[in-house]
Amino acid sequence: MARRDGTLGYYVAFIALVAGLGIAASLVYLLVVRPVTESAGVEVSEPVADDCPVGERAPVCYRFEVTNTGDEAGAFNCQALPPADSLAVFQNGEPRSALVLAPGQTDSVLVKVTPLETDTVRAPSLVCDPPAA
């Protein structure tokens, strides 16, 4: 009997099968051992009393440093929370503001505080929510 060697079609099919198995194994590996990425996160410093810019009409201002601690850029919604019997707003006059920060970027945020019923001024709080995933 004569021995018949594989045809070209046999070799093409075999190479396609091996390549497909390699791709499938790579995809399974990436699904199981993929690196965990952290979306944008935020860190807010403690308030530091600061001079208010001229014309701001607020007795005291506080500066916060807001840092994007994640590995993605993010738009953060920040809210100035006043102490009791006070008003706390950003320079635009609103209690809420949005910040867009690149990964690792820090931005300085100024909050104006005006007491409503007393002469005592206490530091506000600043809360910044990370963007929704």
Residue with tokens 């009393």: 49
Written as six digits, the tokens of 53 are 């810019």
C-alpha–C-alpha distance, residues 71 and 103, integer Å: 5
C-alpha–C-alpha distance, residues 47 and 75, integer Å: 21
At residue 26, what are phi and psi to the nearest 5 degrees?
A: -65, -45
At residue 51, what are phi and psi to the nearest 5 degrees?
A: -70, 140
Q: Outline which parts of the chain fall under CATH 2.60.40.290.
A: 42-129
Topology of domain 42-129 in CATH is Immunoglobulin-like (2.60.40)
C-alpha–C-alpha distance, residues 114 and 49, integer Å: 13
| Residue pLDDT tens, the chain, 133 long | 555 566 877 788 888 888 888 787 777 676 666 554 456 689 999 999 998 888 777 788 999 999 999 888 888 999 999 988 899 999 888 999 999 999 999 999 999 998 888 878 889 999 998 766 5
